Structure 1
Amino acid sequence: MSYTYSNYNSDALKLRALILNARKPFVLRNFKMNWKCFHVTLEEWCARYDKEVNASQEFEVMSCSQGNQTPHWERDRKSLRMTLTEFLEKQKSASSNNYWIGLNYQRINEMPTALGEGIDFSRLGFSEATEECNYWLCSTQTNTPCHYDTYGCNIVVQVYGRKLWLLFPPTTPLSSTRIPYEESSVYCEENLFAPNPQELQQLKKLQSSAYRCILEANDVLIVPKHWWHYVEAIDLSLSINYWIPLENDVEEQLKECIVKILIERFVKNGNEEEQKFILNPNQVIAEMQDDAEIFKILHYLYEKTKSDCSSEKSRRLNVTPCAYQYLDEQECQQLVEELPNGIVEYLSPMSNKDYEVLLNQHAKRFKPSNGSATEPQPFSIIKKAIINSVCTPAVIDHIKMEFFKRYQI
């Protein structure tokens, strides 16, 4: 399709075009979405949730001291069932500073309709997003390890509270890892929550690449494809996000399929302790696909240049994928100028001083331990190094290109 400015006859369509052509993050400040379900306080929304659902929910619980040893805290997390009102009450206790609690990555379409009433992304030009978004309810210090999503472009709406977002461009030399393995997420080894002394010095070298955003209630953040991001709740927080399916996601899905083949075949040969270490808890060993099934998916992705992969995150991509970065930066700037003044705030790299202050503050959280129980003894250093070497993004990209050359049908 040829895109011209005549296509953008409303602010919503202009915003859609800017989002789909984002090359660096930007924020819409105090951009009220006016979703009816959130025309109440957080306490009132949680009380309504409890009334509508009439059941306790399984929250993730993590000790702050335990999380300071590794950014990949998911394998060490505990779970605790409680109502949302009970969750709010726990935040009033002084002991709440010792742990964080989160109800994360919850599908809106799995909630009672009343709890998501009015949620509509059409003001941003994405009316199709309504059924495919997720909500994240969490306490102070709840964090997401630094990673990038292999699929899509991310829209994040902050509903209550504040969150810190620390973002880095795709080319930033962070140390990628696929352990713990989670389909569609590439983590980095560096611990942004509580860097140890060695990590602190390495992270300080990235000062020219760090973008910070304090997302406040009613703000909307756009995270472009493959941007690294670390997220931490500053307050009790509730946010809604939507990953926009993109036309060029199909190549990422094929590469993720290759990673899946490599990781799962390695895991099958390991013992239970190694399997638990390699896989994120949301990757179920029993759901591993056999050769016939996984190669069928790989063949399907090879043939279909604009279709979806049957994975957990990409199953939601049941709408037409969007074209991506089809306008140049000059055309995007013209769209910004046509919107109300000040509506779009592009993020800029942090100052060296601000970045150093932030890292030093986070480094104070690190407390040396007498011994880490995170990595099991049977899991040798060489095995971890082999997995990360073979599954590093540059190697997987090369395998994909070789596969295209060699798989002739």
Structure 2
Amino acid sequence: IGEDVKPFTPGKAKEIVMSLQQPAVFCNMVGDWPALHWNAKYLSALLDGKTIQFRLGLKTVDLVPQFETKCSYVKATLEEFLAWSCGQPSCLSGPFSCYEYSKYWAYADYKYIARIFEDKPEIFQDIRWSDFGFPGRSGKESTLWIGSEGANTPCHLDSYGCNLVLQVQGRKRWHLFPPGDTSFLYPTRIPYEESSIFSKVNVANPDLKRFPEFRNTTAHVVTLSPGQVLLVPRHWWHYVESIDPITISINSWIELDADHEARVEEAITRMLVCAIKSAENPGDGDLWLNPTEVEATSHEINLQYLNKAVSAYFKFQKASVSEQARPSS
């Protein structure tokens, strides 16, 4: 096969993405994407001194997951992050000065490309999900992740969609578990974040005394290298860690029909968690909220959410039924 021939047509790739119930790594699909050149130096120049928020955690491996509620946060430029990760002495002052590189990792995670590059919309086209059968999907519908060695996301599953992840710089190790392993992963809704269900287990160092059922899980471990695209199917659990000094990834969540029902479930969950937690410790602040959630919403607003989700679900069901009722020409 010639250098520039991709192993799958967009149509075939989409078929795989929408139906495969196993994680898969696509190779040789993005060789011509300009986004492959989005290394840290290039992005630093592109951001041009703009500050972004980094989440900092300890490199020591504990028996409990390092949830986002337990991390520190700093606002810094990508340049400051690069200087810190190279161990430059200039870091004795500045946002990372309190965090020794040997002891901490830093992660600029979940950065919406449309938001951080709103003044440079032309770069959205560097990301071409159309090659996977999603025409019109670009950087505008994608998220950027920049981490140092050890940076990680605690084990969780996403309630909505499936996930396509492009590795751009450095390598990341993914520990994936099938939906059938859910009970062995001790799921929890605290910290609460809409669309994320966390595991109480630190899968990198499991406490088997507290979580004996974790032994029954089947981890699918994959090391993702630059130029590869990982498909994370719907409701697969994942723990992700950076294993190189600097890692950069870009992902996009692909909506699925099943999301309509999941939105109803999530709306009910939000209503219950907010009601219980607000009643429990009214003056306690929102320590149970994941930092990605802005605030605990009122019961009134939660009911509106639920109403909208149920309406959308029935609208979708009705459309599906009339679709099936139509005689095929």
1:96-115 residue pairs with structure 2 within 5 A? 96-110=101-115, 111=117, 112-113=120-121, 115=123
* 1:31 CA drift (Å): 3.0
The one-character-per-residue Cα deviations of 1:158-207 (angstroms, maximum 9, x if unpaired) are 1111000111110112211111111101111111133335268643332x
* 1:118 CA drift (Å): 1.8
1:242-391 residue pairs with structure 2 within 5 A? 242-271=252-281, 274-285=284-295, 288-291=297-300, 293-305=301-313
Q: Which moved more, 1:217-226 or 1:104-113?
A: 104-113
1:50/1:85 contact within 8 Å kept = no
1:272/1:64 CA distance change after superposition, 3 Å: farther
Structure with greater proportional helix content: 1
1:262/1:72 CA distance change after superposition, 3 Å: farther
Determine the structure 1 residue equivalent to 2:73. 79
In the aligned structure 1, how far is the partner of 2:219 from the partner of 2:63? Answer: 22
Q: State the AA in 1 paired with 2:273.
A: I
In the aligned structure 2, how far is the partner of 1:97 from the partner of 1:73? Answer: 20
The one-character-per-residue Cα deviations of 1:32-60 (angstroms, maximum 9, x if unpaired) are 253324436x2431332332xx3222211
1:96/1:273 CA distance change after superposition, 3 Å: farther
1:255/1:60 CA distance change after superposition, 3 Å: same
Identity between Structure 1 and Structure 2 (%): 31
1:129-144 residue pairs with structure 2 within 5 A? 129-130=137-138, 131-144=140-153
Determine the structure 2 residue equivalent to 1:157. 166
User: Paired residue for 2:54, among 56, 59, 62?
Assistant: 59
Determine the structure 2 residue equivalent to 1:386. none
Q: State the AA in 2 paired with 1:194.
A: N
Q: State the AA in 1 paired with 2:175.
A: L
TM-score (norm 2): 0.81
1:99/1:34 CA distance change after superposition, 3 Å: same
Determine the structure 1 residue equivalent to 2:3. none
SS at match of 2:266: helix
Q: State the AA in 1 paired with 2:114.
A: N
1:64/1:73 CA distance change after superposition, 3 Å: farther
In the aligned structure 2, how far is the partner of 1:276 from the partner of 1:55? Answer: 29
* 1:69 CA drift (Å): 4.5
SS at match of 2:268: helix
1:33/1:123 contact within 8 Å kept = no
User: Paired residue for 1:119, among 90, 113, 127?
Assistant: 127
User: Paired residue for 2:46, among 38, 46, 49?
Assistant: 49
TM-score (norm 1): 0.66
1:157/1:37 CA distance change after superposition, 3 Å: closer
The one-character-per-residue Cα deviations of 1:265-323 (angstroms, maximum 9, x if unpaired) are 112223367543321122233x51332x3223323322322779xxxxxxxxxxxxx9x
Structure with greater proportional strand content: 2
1:252/1:97 CA distance change after superposition, 3 Å: same
Q: Which runs of 4+ in 1 moved over 4 A?
A: 199-202, 272-275
1:155/1:244 contact within 8 Å kept = yes
Unaligned ranges ≥5, structure 1: 1-9, 309-321, 323-409
1:299/1:104 CA distance change after superposition, 3 Å: same
SS at match of 2:101: helix
* 1:82 CA drift (Å): 1.8
